[in-house]
Structure 1
Amino acid sequence: MFRRPTARLFEVTRLMRLYANRPTGVDRVCLAYLNALIGEQEPCFGLARTRFGYLLFDQVGLLAIQQRLQQKKQWLKPNILHRFLIRKLHWEQPAVEAELRKLCLARCTPRFLARMLRRNLPEGTVYVNVDQANFSARHLQAIRTFPGMRVALFIHDVIPLDFPEYQTPEAYKKFEVMLECARVYANVILTNSHVSKEAITKHMSHHGPVPEITVAHLGVTEDYFQFQNRRPAPSFSKPYFVYLGTIEPRRNIPMLLDIWDRLSKRLDKTEIPHLVICGRRGWMVQELTDRLDSSPLRGSVLHEYNDLEDDQIFNILSNATGMLFPSRVEGFGLPPVEAAMLGTPVICSDLPVFKEILGDYPVYVGVSDSYSWKKVILSLAGAYFGSEGRDDQERSGFSPPSWEAHFKTALRVT
């Protein structure tokens, strides 16, 4: 039977690294949890690991952090020492951490984490970690020594273990250790889909008993597109298609480039739809990024943007002919869900997780079936060639999963 906790301790380490950066998929989940937990009737504390140790925040400190992340207040301006460190490290974090030390309730070195928690938290607190930072045995063991503490950890996927070819060997090993720590120290594991739950259970069961695992689909909201700088969005003549997400090996972007190369050989340039790639460049993509940089189509029908504001992405995505997401594997897949929320047609891989979340909304295509991808792309694009567009085309309705429903489930077990 569920008992409400006396308080919650929320891991905010990843959020501290956002500093003026556009949030990625996991960042969005962390922000949603911060907003939700601050609004609960139980007090919420925050815990962050910095270069010099741990910082503990009370509700007032978390509200101050929330205001800065929402750009309602500015972060502290760097002093001379911070500017030196920023130049040396090419990293803004020293100035952020200086301000966080002013906002915190208490701080300590890693050795004294358990003692700091005992001095400041009420018995019966629940520790909630959504960002997969600080999953080490030392950290979780210190958390578990607190009287009556329950540990709830969110695992977004186990892609590094199922598809090691898309990761560095170091990332694979680190994730393997992290998953075992979660198995040993978590009272409950939260995850985003039944596909993820099955994969987590499979890997954990090889090593011993598996904690309770609760599935709560992630929510999507247009709010994420609202609190940026309102810079004009790039515009494109229709038809144009958008890929949205980190540029990384599993996302299968080379197949899209192959399709556009073939189209350029058989169609006049005025007949080729535009391909707009929006996302930061990730890891193990040197060959792909070299190809993007040197493509003869770049700047004419091939466009790449690595650091657009959320409201710019909103405009591009909501007006697109279609959203393309040929990913080979996902734990949830926020970008196509966000596109569906906006009413944009979605073409995506026929992965079970997309069918679980998106139902009948997308056009599903085999992940390696480039012929069918090209056929569907040209079919959608064909509606826009000629004298009149088809902006009034019918689109089947889609009811996106909500954060309200997510937290109705998640907070029952945390």
Structure 2
Amino acid sequence: MPGAGTRPAITRSEPPARLLDVTRLASRAGRGLTGVDRVERAYLQHLLACPGPLFGLARTVTGFALLDRDGMAALLDRVDGRQDWGAADLVARMARRLTPMRQRADADLRRLAAARSSRIGLKWLLRRRLPERTAYINVGHSNLTPRVIRGLRALPGATIAVMIHDTIPLDFPDFQRAGTVERFRALLALVGRHADLILANSQQTERDTRRWLTAMGLKARYQTALLGVDMPAPDPDALPDGLGIARPYFVCLGTIEPRKNHALLLDAWEEMARTMPPDALPLLVVAGSRGWRNEAVFDRLDRMANDPKSGIREVAGLSDRAVAALLSGAAGLLQPSFAEGYGLPCAEAAALQIPVICSDLPVYREMLGDIPVYLSPSDSYSWIKNIKQLTQAHGNTPRGRSQATDLPTWTSHFKVVLRVT
């Protein structure tokens, strides 16, 4: 691969063709979108509204699928549920490692493709089908491999921009699944060596990425652009039956993993259940899928969620509209994380003018300013005090302490990003 000194300049006088990697987004078929997935979806939606040549690249079980603008629009329809995924074909069904929904998505990618190639044929596919100076954008990290980079470098004038969302796997290795740290270190090194531009979702992420790449002896070009906040309309009918949230409740939103620090909230609810009258105890809705290395928290959730006196509810697999409905009725969002790359749930709650209590992390202050109440992720006394205050105020005071106009927007994000990619 060419070294940094041979990379083409990424600044141009007119918009180039753009090639968005949509491998991760297609892989989420049948599952709810995570924060990173939603960023990739926002890029897909925005680029479809922009003039100029647009293509999508996705890895499939047989190699690669190249989508044109029509194929990208059809993909978005499927991701958003306006169109069902098609039936899995024989090739997809033979990939037994894929879930049935992913088999359907894989088959659809090949049906929607304007062109396809085997794994070894990618560079010829790109050279044959894409104009020179195409700008490749990868925000989800799926499909970011040496093979893809070699294929892009075979296209004259092509540039590579990769978004880094955080360096948490390297900063907090004890919170990670087995193998995650090594894989992320290798990916970051690959980006540092070969990307023409690193997109950072915050100044904090840029600082962290610079620190790690410098330690690896690598230099890179950076552009920071805060992610936008775009909540869908709440849909109360999308909430599951039997959630039982008639009295004031709080929400903790996100994957149940160690760095999210759910244990602090479970401690707080156990203390409040012990000291408060049962009819005064607010509810805590833990909304998110179960993650990894968190067996003690899972055991407590199993016990507390089955005890009607605990005030704990657990729910997973909510759609975006259901999440918006859940947040809209909450007395507050509680996010006691030890670390966050961006923390979209806090921004989304603020956009709905729902009170936010979160850990005092630099990225939250950069993104949200003085909107939340900031607390130490280890000070359970202060969390209990503020939770009680918000419970008493719920329904009696104006919602939230901010206006949605104070928050970052996708318009401002893309105004920055599309100027440099």
TM-score by length of 1: 0.93
Query: Which residue does the alignment assign to 2:8?
Result: none
Query: Which residue does the alignment assign to 1:406?
Result: 413
Stretches of structure 1 lacking an aligned partner (at least 5 in a row): none
Query: Residue 264 of structure 1: CA displacement?
Result: 1.5
Alpha-carbon distance change, 225 to 8 in structure 1, aligned in 2, over 3 angstroms: farther
Alpha-carbon distance change, 36 to 393 in structure 1, aligned in 2, over 3 angstroms: closer
| Number of aligned positions between the proteins | 408
| 1:13-412 matches, cutoff 5 A | 13-78=23-88, 90-223=99-232, 230=238, 234=243, 236-295=245-304, 298-300=307-309, 301-384=311-394, 389-390=395-396, 392=398, 395-398=401-404, 399-412=406-419
Query: Residue 265 of structure 1: CA displacement?
Result: 1.5
| AA matched with 1:411 | L
Stretches of structure 2 lacking an aligned partner (at least 5 in a row): 1-10
| AA matched with 2:205 | S
Matched position secondary structure for 2:23: coil
The CA distance in 1 between the partners of 2:379 and 2:246, in whole Å, is 27
Query: Residue 299 of structure 1: CA displacement?
Result: 4.3
Q: Deviations over 1:122-175 (max 9, x none)?
A: 011010001011222232122122110010111101100011011124010000
Query: Residue 298 of structure 1: CA displacement?
Result: 4.1
CA contact (8 A) 1:141 1:185 kept: no
| AA matched with 1:47 | L
Query: Residue 304 of structure 1: CA displacement?
Result: 0.4
Alpha-carbon distance change, 368 to 390 in structure 1, aligned in 2, over 3 angstroms: same
The CA distance in 1 between the partners of 2:221 and 2:282, in whole Å, is 48
The CA distance in 2 between the partners of 1:134 and 1:34, in whole Å, is 16
Matched position secondary structure for 1:295: helix
The CA distance in 2 between the partners of 1:354 and 1:402, in whole Å, is 15
Q: Deviations over 1:84-141 (max 9, x none)?
A: 867x754422222122211111111221111110000001101000101122223212
The CA distance in 2 between the partners of 1:162 and 1:356, in whole Å, is 19
Alpha-carbon distance change, 27 to 405 in structure 1, aligned in 2, over 3 angstroms: same
Query: Residue 370 of structure 1: CA displacement?
Result: 1.1
Alpha-carbon distance change, 89 to 171 in structure 1, aligned in 2, over 3 angstroms: same
Query: Residue 79 of structure 1: CA displacement?
Result: 6.0
TM-score by length of 2: 0.91
CA contact (8 A) 1:183 1:211 kept: yes
Matched position secondary structure for 2:140: coil
Query: Residue 316 of structure 1: CA displacement?
Result: 1.5
CA contact (8 A) 2:136 2:158 kept: yes
Alpha-carbon distance change, 121 to 80 in structure 1, aligned in 2, over 3 angstroms: closer
CA contact (8 A) 1:46 1:57 kept: yes
CA contact (8 A) 2:337 2:377 kept: yes
The CA distance in 2 between the partners of 1:302 and 1:391, in whole Å, is 25
The CA distance in 1 between the partners of 2:234 and 2:413, in whole Å, is 20
Alpha-carbon distance change, 321 to 297 in structure 1, aligned in 2, over 3 angstroms: farther
RMSD: 2.2
Matched position secondary structure for 1:284: coil
Alpha-carbon distance change, 73 to 89 in structure 1, aligned in 2, over 3 angstroms: closer
Query: Residue 394 of structure 1: CA displacement?
Result: 6.5
CA contact (8 A) 2:159 2:196 kept: yes
| AA matched with 2:365 | K
Q: Deviations over 1:278-306 (max 9, x none)?
A: 11111222221121012266445110001
CA contact (8 A) 1:7 1:126 kept: yes
CA contact (8 A) 1:242 1:317 kept: yes
Alpha-carbon distance change, 101 to 229 in structure 1, aligned in 2, over 3 angstroms: farther
CA contact (8 A) 1:229 1:309 kept: no
The CA distance in 2 between the partners of 1:44 and 1:229, in whole Å, is 36
Alpha-carbon distance change, 224 to 286 in structure 1, aligned in 2, over 3 angstroms: farther
| AA matched with 1:108 | S
CA contact (8 A) 2:138 2:163 kept: yes
Matched position secondary structure for 1:152: strand
Identity in percent: 40
